[in-house]
Structure 1
């Protein structure tokens, strides 16, 4: 099958095949339009006219066009407009949210090779992720089966707008002929199928085999498909030649049908490591089929020449920006991968793997790729025109051009500016928001951000194969002078910044170092809460981690342990893990970590144990300043997903709080109050029970109880009551999502709601902290996301419409975390320093002559 092309008359169409009768024409005027044309470099100032579900005209619209159509008018007032976002790797609808056993069709475990399965047959239109994805500007997604199998089945491209038919079939965009009422047209090129393959750990682990087993299974079935293709081609040659005698029926095999089409087209495949990428390139050359793209492709940046050996053309790489190290295959990932691939002339696609990265925030993946060196045009293209091209659909989506589908986004700021949010999304020319909430953004957000110079880091990423040294250099004595500082925050004025122009007196101090921040800023370093930093290196590798604690309510506890001894995280601390050091390099100096109460499978335990407050930049536990506080708080996890009932969990907690543990001296935690209790909880109903329990415990002991909710997806529903009870909330993740039933009433934030959870809670006087974004809320797979806390912090402020100041946001990611997690005395000599926008953490010990 050659590159997918539409029928010759396609560009002459006046109405989309997905047009919904009754849709009014729309004029979007006064827009700044990134069209996707001219290698993504074309930006027009003008208007967009849409009718019949397609873009009719772009730029200067002829009055005759406007006069001939009744239309609505949207004044963009200079706002940026782009094509709709195309998510090329999503499990939306097949791994549905809220996550329920009856609504998960992501993986079949019926065999290693299942090319005959179809994601369409399991796409659940009731998935709450659909509306949220559109709220992030996603208009088109490739819905793929999971990666448990070497061949998981066929993927299907869908549009995300709801249809009157309410069916999965009604969402399809150019499905293979024969599906959704379409019949084979022998006068036009056939349409691509999208097949999902997987390499490496996933299929090998699922079926307890090896990479060799996986590749052999794929080779074997492709050989069967190749033989069938040959017989089909021979049949067609005879038919065309009129040799009908004894020809019989057309040779077919329903189980191999899609694979034969792959041999005439392209395939999508999940491959992480160089060894898997190389093996799959060999396979594609052996059987003569093209690889459209490698998905995840964490090591593709290390083997560009291997990609260039791809059959027919080099595959694209569909990658994450910073999501990595959650398993061994992802350990060598680099945040500079997108830039390195682009420098080698290779196509880059940023994708979500929804719900691993929530597809609503796919534009943020492009923003992070841009920050780490990908050009402005390629970064926007990586979620619009490039995936459209890789999917073979660049004749109708991915661009703002006449004749293309009317899928466009009107943004409240430059799409690569942090926190960029759609103020309106059109799919097939239909506006998706009836009354969108739009936050006013600073003027600086209307331009593409300037990116730091990472040339040295990019070279090191290649030189050290993704593992350059991250160990920080520390300076323990002498004066440090920071000059050309644009903004400076401190805690209670405990540090000083020189504001004069004559530095000679300060520089003359013996051993002083002068650092020019080139307009950068200084602020207290951030604090990580809600992660497993310090207790694991690779989440999915038990040999690299402290492990999960015993669940006292559902497991047989060793006699030597018993229920009465809280586990202390300090005993299992690891230092110099890559996630910890990357967080440190990005301005997060310390962490408060509790024993891991959830495993890779998401299971949770009631009594996690006692958290520790420690430095992320130290080399080992015995180093001075490595551990600031051996015990911070008692951590508990109460969830409807436990093997024990919520009632049982709360009853157990009641007993522990009313009859304090005798085996351990609880004064170790606090001498003046009931030990701080941090409860991971997301359901508002459970929170209500816990607020009542707090009153009961305080009445029993006659003194205050410090209580903090971690997670907090539904906390906004009880904002006033939580504030009145003096309970704080650490939102983990900071941007809520309906991962489970307990998250389903989360607050979406703009453009769907006026406020985010953080803004609403803060407006009621609740002390709010922010945890890492990560996967499925409070998960040990969130460690990688701690490095992005400064983005998360600023994002909360930007979408608050001015109700959360920079200082408030900074506190949510630093001092509030310490306060809510039981830190009694915080170090005051850790500062996060940015040089022209780039983070350089300065660790200055307390015996310095000064901090400037």
Structure 2
């Protein structure tokens, strides 16, 4: 080995220097340590010698489908795997625990290449946020380890529920394992702690371990150049110093030149640091590529990288090997730099030979399932079912390799090259929507004492098909043929009005000017009719989105592109008298923005309408509006569906006005007849069970005082399951937002995680108590994924809900909860057509929107 040869040479040299009569140059007392330090500068990073020294109970997993990560991510082996001493072995051990995988898929543990786990701990508390520092632009001396919170609830949720076993965190970053250790310290969570963690230089006998650094987006290129130039000068002084010491020339040398503040950046120039750089636009890449060539250091990966797919050839000009690109699948447009992000970026980059990684950027993507979900979405938009395994590689083997940890994690190997056993046994194909771990091994230690796993059809064990996204045109007279099923809104919610299984054959659906005129067996003259073959597909209600400011913003971080928040009546000077003073009810309809990019993407994914309230941080929000995502402007036919939906309010636990103050405001307003007369619902955001209970009592109090029933809906509702019985008895509906619970804040900490951690989900508990339930989204980019959210809800609930009930979660239920209407009018509500399956099937895409309100069919 390289380091052994260097160590031996150094030892012999030291003997010669100290014992030979020729060594008559005056040597300082610390000469030996300085010479060892200088030789260590030439060692390359690699795995430690004690890598295989592990002690855990052995486990034999039999009868599995193993995705190994080998053969460029295409190798799949049917067989067994033995875990012993924390390693993947090829021999048997004592006290063997045998697990019959029953043909289940096994992959390496998921590796999150970009995370703030531990530094932005959950639930979010101001005193526990250590993910960013406002002190300066370039701060390579700041280490994520020094702020790593061992009490982060996201460790167990992400690792056990989502299969994430390792993550790269922070600025001067550290690769950590996501499990409780016996020592329970931050340091014990580090996969391979660099020797510089607590001293400026490594042990001179051992090869250095990889260090990591994650730089933020460019503010000014000069700040980077100045920092790297400072590091370059220190490196040159060290090299000059060492060349003299190793020549036994000590005269006038003084102390070894080092600087604790810049030593990490010096190691970057020595090629010992995996550099990960967050940047978005083409101009950012251009500046960093020039920087890497000027100071001759490689870059491991560009992160976020919204425009990387536009400039793959520029990326390849980076000094050294081509960097990987770490992306979100669909999260984009949240600021100007991310506006040009595309769901097709992973596929385009892969086609150009660039290694693609999917990331969570936790806590940006907070749900424990979202890293796997990112890979699933990348596969969905890749339109390449034959190479879908590369998306599993994007969160396992590729990420491990880019981190320099492929000798430990990210693959399944045996023998001398055996790896630390970070493995997941899945309940279905890992790219199938709703895939859930049945067991997670971290360092060979099983993490689940008991997994609540939902039985799924055999088809979920197969590689999921992916749709095609060819755009067509618009038509007024359309017939859909080879239709498997039709679901339509009714007074009861959503009903299945046609089933090929019941009819004995695939059917047809005739549409004239946006209205369905025939379902099943239809007589028609198709000479002047657009015929669309759904190939066993389905027609179902258009989905409704709620919870994000979709329709009120283009780019979240750009105020000039959005409708500004309304006045907070408790903390700001009141609403001007000229518009009604504090009693004024602001209407979202007046600030609508049509044809935003996120609206278009949601529309193409089957979300045809939105209910949105005025943007507000106040207890009293305003009046919501329902509008069509297919409309070009507010004056177009069918653009605004309901001018006023409900009165929106919020009760939040925050550093502002107390919950009791907010409830007092709502009590005063509700007792005034102008606020609500029971015809439209009161929609109140509340997360914790405590303010939800106060709202239920307030509803009862106001109903008694006014002598009439109030329609009330609770949104957010992270802890609503704790009051499921009381909500059902009070006839109060719930919109879960987000659809999959996570302890974002302290008020959310008592979430019901669902499988594999808990048997039940919030939806299943609430529905069991006769609560009308809808699902929402938090951010505008996520509206397009509503179909996946309700499909996941169905799978997590054990597929005990009918498809009609599942469709209702994001259609008729939302309309009822937010507008007070009992159903979507079939004569007005949009319908969507999908090819090859229904809207809940992962491998289908929306091919048309039937819009009676606009009198047309949009062929997508």
Asked if Structure 1 and Structure 2 have the same fold, meaning a TM-score greater than 0.5 normalized by the shorter chain, the answer is yes
Q: Deviations over 1:565-623 (max 9, x none)?
A: 100000001110111111111001111110011xxxxxx21111000011011000000
Corresponding residue to 1:651 among 653, 664, 677? 664
Corresponding residue to 1:115 among 118, 137, 140? 140
Correspondences of 1:119-268 after superposition (within 5 Å): 119-134=144-159, 135-144=161-170, 153-179=171-197, 184-200=202-218, 204=219, 214-265=220-271, 266-268=274-276
Correspondences of 1:528-607 after superposition (within 5 Å): 528-557=545-574, 558-561=576-579, 562-597=581-616, 604-607=617-620
Match of 2:293 in 1: 285
* Partner Cα distance (2:595, 2:44) in 1: 49
Match status 1:369 vs 2:378? yes
Question: Which range is displaced more, 555-564 or 347-356?
Answer: 555-564
Q: Secondary structure at the match of 2:78?
A: strand
Question: Which range is displaced more, 248-257 or 318-327?
Answer: 248-257
Match of 2:109 in 1: 84
* Partner Cα distance (1:34, 1:849) in 2: 47
Match of 2:352 in 1: 344
Contact 1:294 1:318 in 2 (8 A): yes
For structure 1, the 5+ residue unaligned runs are: 58-64, 145-152, 205-213, 458-471, 598-603, 775-781
Match of 1:755 in 2: 760
Corresponding residue to 1:380 among 392, 396, 402? 392
Match of 1:426 in 2: 441
Residue 643 of structure 1: how far off its partner (Å): 1.4
Match of 1:465 in 2: none
Q: Secondary structure at the match of 2:195?
A: coil
Match of 2:484 in 1: 486
CA change 1:181–1:164 in 2 (3 A) is: farther
Contact 2:87 2:444 in 1 (8 A): yes
Correspondences of 1:624-703 after superposition (within 5 Å): 624-641=637-654, 643-661=656-674, 673=678, 675-703=680-708
Match of 1:312 in 2: 320
* Partner Cα distance (1:6, 1:299) in 2: 33
Match of 1:393 in 2: 405
Match of 2:329 in 1: 321
Q: Deviations over 1:73-112 (max 9, x none)?
A: 1111111100000001000111111111110011111122
Residue 247 of structure 1: how far off its partner (Å): 2.9
Match of 1:413 in 2: 428
* Partner Cα distance (2:199, 2:689) in 1: 46
Match of 1:48 in 2: 81
Match of 1:833 in 2: 833
Question: Which range is displaced more, 556-565 or 296-305?
Answer: 556-565
* Partner Cα distance (2:249, 2:214) in 1: 37
Contact 2:121 2:154 in 1 (8 A): yes
Contact 2:850 2:857 in 1 (8 A): no
Contact 2:486 2:497 in 1 (8 A): no
Question: Which range is displaced more, 819-828 or 118-127?
Answer: 819-828
Match status 1:438 vs 2:453? yes
* Partner Cα distance (2:182, 2:506) in 1: 67
TM-score of the pair, normalised by structure 1: 0.88
Q: Secondary structure at the match of 2:609?
A: strand
Match status 1:746 vs 2:751? yes
CA change 1:690–1:344 in 2 (3 A) is: same
CA change 1:745–1:692 in 2 (3 A) is: same
Residue 363 of structure 1: how far off its partner (Å): 0.4
For structure 2, the 5+ residue unaligned runs are: 1-40, 509-520, 837-843
Match of 2:30 in 1: none
Q: Secondary structure at the match of 2:626?
A: strand
* Partner Cα distance (1:255, 1:393) in 2: 26
Contact 1:708 1:820 in 2 (8 A): yes
Contact 1:138 1:359 in 2 (8 A): no
Residue 178 of structure 1: how far off its partner (Å): 3.5
Contact 2:649 2:682 in 1 (8 A): yes
* Partner Cα distance (1:704, 1:178) in 2: 67
Corresponding residue to 1:788 among 782, 785, 789? 785
* Partner Cα distance (2:256, 2:484) in 1: 74
Question: Which range is displaced more, 280-289 or 827-836?
Answer: 827-836
Q: Deviations over 1:311-350 (max 9, x none)?
A: 0111110000000111111110000100000000000000
Residue 555 of structure 1: how far off its partner (Å): 0.5
Corresponding residue to 1:448 among 463, 482, 498? 463
* Partner Cα distance (1:642, 1:765) in 2: 35
Correspondences of 1:16-95 after superposition (within 5 Å): 16=54, 19=55, 23-57=56-90, 65-66=91-92, 68-95=93-120
Q: Deviations over 1:781-821 (max 9, x none)?
A: x0000000000010000111132232211110110000000
Residue 647 of structure 1: how far off its partner (Å): 0.6
Q: Deviations over 1:19-78 (max 9, x none)?
A: 5xxx31111111111011111111111111111111112xxxxxxx32x42211111111
* Partner Cα distance (1:487, 1:421) in 2: 28
Correspondences of 1:742-821 after superposition (within 5 Å): 742-772=747-777, 774=778, 782-821=779-818
Q: Secondary structure at the match of 2:819?
A: coil
Q: Deviations over 1:383-423 (max 9, x none)?
A: 00001011111111100112101110011111000000111
TM-score of the pair, normalised by structure 2: 0.87
Q: Deviations over 1:655-691 (max 9, x none)?
A: 11112237xxx5xxx7xx3541000110101111111
* Partner Cα distance (1:257, 1:694) in 2: 62
* Partner Cα distance (2:650, 2:117) in 1: 28
Match of 1:601 in 2: none
Match status 1:610 vs 2:648? no
* Partner Cα distance (2:857, 2:242) in 1: 84
CA change 1:633–1:849 in 2 (3 A) is: closer
Contact 2:623 2:644 in 1 (8 A): yes
Match of 1:211 in 2: none
Q: Secondary structure at the match of 1:444?
A: helix
CA change 1:181–1:138 in 2 (3 A) is: farther
Corresponding residue to 2:849 among 820, 836, 842? 842
Corresponding residue to 1:711 among 712, 716, 721? 716
Residue 8 of structure 1: how far off its partner (Å): 8.5
Q: Secondary structure at the match of 2:681?
A: strand
Q: Secondary structure at the match of 2:196?
A: coil
Match of 1:461 in 2: none
CA change 1:505–1:643 in 2 (3 A) is: closer
Q: Secondary structure at the match of 1:445?
A: helix
* Partner Cα distance (1:768, 1:334) in 2: 32
Q: How many residues align?
A: 778
Residue 559 of structure 1: how far off its partner (Å): 2.9
Match status 1:296 vs 2:304? yes
Q: Secondary structure at the match of 1:735?
A: coil
